[in-house]
Amino acid sequence: MGRQFFVGGNFKMNGNIKTIRDIVHNINSAKLDPNVEVVIAPPALYLLLAREHLRKGIEVAAQNVFDKPDGAFTGEISVKQLKESGITWTLTGHSERRVILQEDDAFVASKTKAALDGGLGVILCCGESLEQREAGKTIEVVTAQLKAVADIVKDWSKIVIAYEPIWAIGTGKVATTAQAQEVHAAIREWLKKEVSPEAAEATRILYGGSVNEKNCTELGKQPDIDGFLVGGASLKPAFVDIINANST
C-alpha cells in the first residue's frame, strides 16, 4: 500500500468570515482527486466556521496547540478543546512560530506529544534558514528538529512531516525539485535509522515553501515527496489545482 498523497492548506493569519466561506465553498464544489487527503488550517477564530461548512471527508487543522490540558494559559487552545470541536489535526513547529515566537525544539516536541496523546493528527514542520543551508547544515538542522520529537514520541503513525525551507516560505523562491527530493530522502533515511523502517515507509513527508499550481506537478512526481503544505496559494482557487496535482 503506497503512501496516500496529502495536501494541507495553511491560511496563516489571513481571511475573514466572507473569504473563509468562499474558500470552503470553492473546495466543496470542486472535483477533487479522491485519493488525496485534504486538510485546511484557518485562523483559530474560524476553525468552527470552516468545520461547520466544509464537506465530509475534508478535515480541519489548528495552526497551533498548547501542551497542557487546561488552566491559566491566556491565549492558548488545548487538544481536548480542538477535539471536542471536531478539529482533528494541528500544525506544530511552523517556522514562523519557531522564529517569531521563539518556540524551541523541546517545546514543539512537547506540543506534538500532547496532540498525539489526545488523539489529533499532527503536521510537524521542520526546515532550515538560508544561512544554515549555505553553511551545509540543512540535514543536521532538520534532523535535530525531528529528533526532539523522536526522543519522546515512539508512534509516528499520526504524524505527517512538512519540510519547509524557511528561505522559500512566502518569498517566491522554491527549492529546486532536486533540492527538495534530496532533503525528503534524507528525512526518510533518518526515520528508518532513528524511529523504525516501518515509520520510514509509512510516514508522509510534505514539501512546503512557495508551492503553487505551476510547480506542484513536478514536485509531486518525486519518490519521497508525498504532498504539500501550501501557504498563500491555499487562499486562492488554484488550491484545487494543487490538490489535483497528482491526477494530471
* Catalytically active residues, by annotation: 94, 164
Torsion of CA 25, 58, 202, 125, to 10 degrees: 60
Q: How many Å apart are CA 110 and CA 208, to the nearest integer?
A: 23
141 CA to centre of own chain: 18
Please tell me whether residue 45 adopts helix, strand or coil conformation.
helix
Q: How many Å apart are CA 46 and CA 62, to the nearest integer?
A: 10
Residues 6+ apart with CB under 8 A from 202: 3, 156, 157
Nearest-Å Rg of the Cα atoms of the chain is 17
Torsion of CA 166, 170, 175, 180, to 10 degrees: 70
Nearest in space to 54 (alpha carbons), one of 64, 44, 39: 39
The owner of cell 481571511 is 15
